[in-house]
Amino acid sequence: MIKFDFIDKIVLVTGSSRGIGKACAVRFAEAGAHVVIHFNKNHKAAEQVLKSLSANNHFLVKADLADAGQVKSLAEQVLNKYGRIDVLVNNAGVFEEFDVLSLSFDQWQQSWEKTIKTNLTGAANLSFLIAKKMKDKGGCRIVNVSSRGAFRGEPDAPAYGASKAGMNSFGQSFAKAFAKYNIYVYTIAPGFVATEMAENAMIDERADEIKNQSPLGRIASPEEIAQTILFLASPGSEYMTGCIVDMNGASYLRN
């Protein structure tokens, strides 16, 4: 395993009470970072993550990323405490799966708005606030957690697929907009990962089919995704700014 060095770096990981976010928080803390644990609803789980981290000046903050005011407050709280943010990992997201044609128009609107606001608008708002604050300091890195669903389509979760496709685009746009300020933006697009979000899909007859989508015959662990995120956030990856890194075990290939 690669040994990373984030000593005294300020790292904000959204949605870090579980899954990929939790794995990132643990790895960044092990590498010496001051980690901001963000959560929306699961305070108990977030506190458990905080307590599990190796000793350092960590911070716990609550915010609904679908609410622009709370996103602004989140950024302000972290910047007021530390004065800067060296790494932002836009990991938080919601996933709602359903038979599209069974929904009423009201249900469709509610699901679409919730998903887009949380997954895309919230991440874009937070990135804007932090990049604008960090443009005179430079060296900030933003890593977006997208999905292979942005490319292959999500017929039972169209809002999710659209939100991740939008995330890919805004990440590339930000990479161009902020490169002159030495702010680097990367996107990672995982396939299925062994997180709470994937639990429903992995407990029925679909489990083997999902695992066999990859020639490796399994899905990814959160720690594998975290490993790549820490690599992208490390010095030496600057020329990768604007990239979208597929990490789906060859379950979906594009060229």
Gyration radius (Cα) of the chain, Å: 17
C-beta separation of 27 from 230 below 8 A? yes
Active site residue 160: yes
> Comparing C-alpha atoms, which of 88, 25, 91 is closest to residue 58?
25
C-beta separation of 88 from 140 below 8 A? yes
- Active-site residue among 160, 181, 186, 239? 160
What is the spatial distance between Cα 131 and Cα 42, in angstroms, rounded to a whole number?
27
Residue 246 neighbours by CB distance under 10 Å: 18
What is the spatial distance between Cα 207 and Cα 165, in angstroms, rounded to a whole number?
25
Q: Which residues are catalytic?
A: 160
